[in-house]
Amino acid sequence: MTRIIAIANQKGGVGKTTCAINIAYGWARLRGPDRVLLVDADPQANATSVALGVPFANGPRQAGVGILYEVLLERAAASDVIQTVEIEGNHRYADTALDILPAHLQLAEAEAQLMGEFHREYKLKNALAEIEDDYEVIIIDCPPSLGVLTMNALLAANEVIIPVEPGIFPLVGIQYLNSTIGKIQRVNQALQITGVLPTMGDRTVLARETREQLFKSFNGAVLPDVPRRVSIGEANAAGLDIFGFEPDGDSAAAFEDVVREVIARG
Ligand SMILES: Nc1ncnc2c1ncn2[C@@H]1O[C@H](COP(=O)(O)OP(=O)(O)O)[C@@H](O)[C@H]1O
Ligand SMILES: [Mg+2]
């Protein structure tokens, strides 16, 4: 069965997109090409910016080239809008490739346009049903809200990873997300929490206390930490994953640990 993993947290800036990109690219690098689909379900289209370039994600819409918007409104099939991204190798990682189902700012309009539609929360699930057998894993980057787009992701998914930054407020937000996941599990019994993922970790007391609290609340479901590193932001800005940007750094090693652990939990 294809693993369909939503990267979700209604809070913005916790590292969702960074984790979605690096888990998807890392998976493609470790397991070989043609196994991974990255679905960008955030109108901010940051994952699309990295995979396909800023002009595609933020520039004018290209005629005849679809995005998730058309798929959710049933104007295109997922297979019509998916693009393949070639990923350059280096001395540590071989050349590979992954597929992306892109977003664009226009995706923001889908939320309002789906409002009156029957089964509006199931559009992504239905669209992925036609292509999911082509992949080993589908990673969905969610927007920072619990609106229709995130609901589509959580109903399409069979797993969820929750990135959490250090602090007390993120933990309060997790309780809320947890109760949302609980509600979704009543209609999508397949949905499992694969793990919470401590991001932007540093040596502060707050970061340590956050990890301890996560271990208390989620037991074994805490994934290896991702440290706070300037290079992680720089890689995003350069349009690269951390494995391509700084293959020998501790950030790449940390994300490789995360990817191996997520693969192992399947
Ligand atoms: N581990 C990290 N260390 C340093 N900066 C990070 C890290 N993870 C994310 N960032 C930066 O923090 C900002 C928010 O991250 P992002 O992944 O876009 O979060 P979200 O998708 O949850 O809004 C981005 O500018 C990103 O480059
Ligand atoms: Mg994001």
State which H helix or E strand residue 8 sits in: none
Structural domain of 154: 3-264
Structure confidence by residue, pLDDT tens digits, 85-114: 999 999 999 999 999 999 999 999 999 999
pLDDT value for 78: 98
Instruction: Please indicate whether residue 15, judged by its CB atom, sits closer than 6 Å to ligand 1.
Output: yes
Q: Is residue 167 scored above 90 in pLDDT? A: no
Q: 194: closest CA among 261, 98, 95, 117? A: 261
Structure confidence by residue, pLDDT tens digits, 114-148: 988 989 999 999 999 999 999 999 999 999 999 99
* CA 15 to centroid of ligand 2, rounded, Å: 7
Q: What is the spatial distance between Cα 218 and Cα 57, in angstroms, rounded to a whole number? A: 35
**Type of residue found at 258:** V
Q: Is residue 257 scored above 80 in pLDDT? A: yes
Backbone angles phi, psi at 85, to 5 degrees: -110, 120
pTM over 0.95: yes
* CA 3 to centroid of ligand 2, rounded, Å: 21
Which residue has a Cα nearest atom 24 of ligand 1?
Answer: 233
- Lowest-confidence pick of 170-174, 182-186, 201-205: 170-174
pLDDT value for 38: 98
**Average pLDDT for 14-35:** 96
Look at residue 222 and give its three-state secondary structure: strand
**Average pLDDT for 28-38:** 96
How many domains does one find in the chain?
Answer: 1
CATH number of the domain bearing residue 97: 3.40.50.300
Look at residue 216 and give its three-state secondary structure: helix
